[in-house]
Amino acid sequence: MADLEQIFAAMGDNFDASKAAGVNLSVQFDLSGDGGGQYYAKVADGKLDANKGAVDNPDATLKMDAGDFAAMSKGDLNPMMAFMSGKIKVDGDLNTVMKFQQVVGL
């Protein structure tokens, strides 16, 4: 499995600043299982901050297995199918998650 810290660091590679104009959101990732942990991503002022740790009062929290997240980041697991099959649990605003997916390309 890819190192989660590397995956979060690489989120900026797919980040589309033009789609992030006027977007302010924060997403907490609670990843369970082998290599799991807490990670966050914040979009503000056309910039992305994604790293290990927690964010106060996230707009949405995604809970999933670390292996599923790694597969999703590589394109081996469709995020919508993972959500529909219960592999991803969302607490908070689902629209935030969808907007995050658009600006980060996850």
The pLDDT of residue 1: 44
- d(C-alpha 96, C-alpha 85), whole Å: 20
Q: What is the mean pLDDT of each run of 10 residues along the chain (106 residues)?
A: 79 83 92 93 90 94 94 90 93 89 80
- d(C-alpha 43, C-alpha 50), whole Å: 9
User: The whole model's pTM is what?
Assistant: 0.89
Question: What's the helix, strand, coil split of the chain in %, to 5?
Answer: 35, 30, 35
**Structural domains of the chain ordered from first start:** 4-104 (3.30.1050.10)
The pLDDT of residue 33: 92
Q: In b/e form, how buried is each residue of 65-92, taking b as 16+ CB within 10 angstroms?
A: bbbbbbbbbeeebebeebbeeebbeeeb
